[in-house]
Structure 1
Amino acid sequence: MVLETFLDRTFGRPTGLLGRLGGKLMAQSKGEFTAWVITELDFEPDDHVLEVGFGPGIGIQQLAEAVPDGFVAGIDASPEMVEQARKRNVGTIHEGQVELRYGVADDVPSEDDVFDAAMTMNSMQVWPDAVTGLRELRRVVKPDGTVAIAFTHHSGQSKDELPKLLADAGFDEIRIEDRGDDFCAFAEV
């Protein structure tokens, strides 16, 4: 019980000092895998992209580089992570290329069909309802867009349940790619 609370406050739902420490550790450990997921999404320079559960903002930073003429939005349920990500991405926020908000996956503050793609990494397992969150991602991504649901081996997430969750959320074209012990499900809208 104590270990679960520690891990949740550090990585799952980062709060307080443990959350700030967890954000720094995540920033050091997820960069290469995040870059791989972004490469697999194959963006156009002017695409609009959403990241849910952006943590310390490494993915937001890399997405902004991948879509230099586009727009990157992000929501995260941790005030500590929103603060860290804002500090990391202050330039692109000031330029209007990036917008970060406090929020949750099952209530994305966006109109329908706005984004060319959406991604999330190591966050779905802490959403209140995974299928509801996935439906929200499907709602805000344009037809023919892609949703990427990525997990590092630290997440504890099983890839075996992903196809059913994605199908229950309305996705029918689903592929799972492995990269060592890490994996990502790509679903077409």
Structure 2
Amino acid sequence: MLKKFFSKQARKPSGFFGRFITLKVFEKGNAGLNRRMLELVSASGGDRILEIGFGGGGTIYEMACALDTGSVEGIDFSDAMLKAARRKNREHIAAGTVTLLQGDFDSAHYPPCVFDTVCTANTIYFWPDRKHTASRIHEVLKPGGRLVLAYVDRSKMDNMPLDMEVFTPISRDEVRVLLEEAGFREVRFHPCADPSRAEYCVEAFK
């Protein structure tokens, strides 16, 4: 029962627990993975960036601070995370640098070829139709744009206390095939600092 509850909170934080407890757990547990993702995104200048599943908005904030004329957009289907991220980014939102939406990326309206970079951390396990989501990401990227996808590999997740009706783990080989079939090229895997955690940031280019 508890395993299912915590797994559902990981997928879509909600209520008081999501806004305060889940958020703190995410910020601590995902710190290394998010740091590596930020390094690879390397936001600068006039970049236009989209983050799918922005959680508490910490990575949105860091990317926005690094921009001059660019912008960061984010979409997350959790109302609890939207509220937290808006608090974190209120100055950037007021300045027009950050735009945050509550919704599902798969059905949200984004024009094709608008983003230089799309990034996402720890969301791929929850994509109901991975092929569709990967294709949508490819579609909204500009030619030459990049996806930076951070995740924990199946080799680690299969042994974690998670409800596998909520999580669908994925392996390196499966990630590579998924992205290449969606049209991405030069799929590169970058291990994070602690190899025992089996955490990777994947770069793929349109």
> Which amino acid in the other structure matches residue 53 of structure 2?
G
Q: Which moved more, 1:88-97 or 1:150-159?
A: 150-159
Note the residue ranges of structure 1 that are not aligned, 5 or more in a row.
none
Partners of 2:59 and 2:152 in 1: how far apart?
A: 14
Partners of 2:25 and 2:204 in 1: how far apart?
A: 29
Alignment-derived partner of residue 38 in structure 1: 38
Alignment-derived partner of residue 6 in structure 1: 5
| Change in 2 beyond 3 A, CA 1:3/1:82 | same
For 1:154-165, list aligned pairs within 5 A.
156=157, 157=169, 158-165=171-178
For 1:34-183, list aligned pairs within 5 A.
34-152=34-152, 156=157, 157=169, 158-179=171-192, 180=194, 181=197, 182-183=199-200
Instruction: Report the Cα offset of residue 152 of structure 1.
Output: 4.4
Partners of 1:150 and 1:4 in 2: how far apart?
A: 23
Instruction: Report the Cα offset of residue 31 of structure 1.
Output: 3.4
TM-score (norm 1): 0.90
Q: Which moved more, 1:83-92 or 1:145-154?
A: 145-154
> Which amino acid in the other structure matches residue 142 of structure 2?
K
Is the contact made by 2:33 and 2:201 (CA closer than 8 Å) also made in structure 1? no
Deviation readout 1:68-126 (Å, 9 max, x if unpaired): 42100000011111111111111101111000001223124311111100000001111
Instruction: Count matched residues.
Output: 188
Task: Determine helix, strand or coil for the equivalent of 2:40.
Answer: helix
Point out the structure with max Rg over C-alpha: 2
Deviation readout 1:37-65 (Å, 9 max, x if unpaired): 22223333210000001111111111112
Instruction: Report the Cα offset of residue 153 of structure 1.
Output: 6.8
Alignment-derived partner of residue 166 in structure 2: none
| Change in 2 beyond 3 A, CA 1:3/1:167 | farther
Note the residue ranges of structure 2 that are not aligned, 5 or more in a row.
158-168
Partners of 1:44 and 1:140 in 2: how far apart?
A: 19
> Which amino acid in the other structure matches residue 174 of structure 2?
E
Partners of 1:38 and 1:94 in 2: how far apart?
A: 23
Is the contact made by 2:44 and 2:68 (CA closer than 8 Å) also made in structure 1? no
Identity of aligned residues (%): 31
Q: Which has the higher contact order (CA 8 A, sep 6+)?
A: 2
Instruction: Report the Cα offset of residue 167 of structure 1.
Output: 1.7
Is the contact made by 1:8 and 1:14 (CA closer than 8 Å) also made in structure 2? no
Alignment-derived partner of residue 164 in structure 2: none
Partners of 2:28 and 2:93 in 1: how far apart?
A: 22
TM-score (norm 2): 0.83
Is the contact made by 1:105 and 1:127 (CA closer than 8 Å) also made in structure 2? no
Q: CA RMSD in A?
A: 1.9
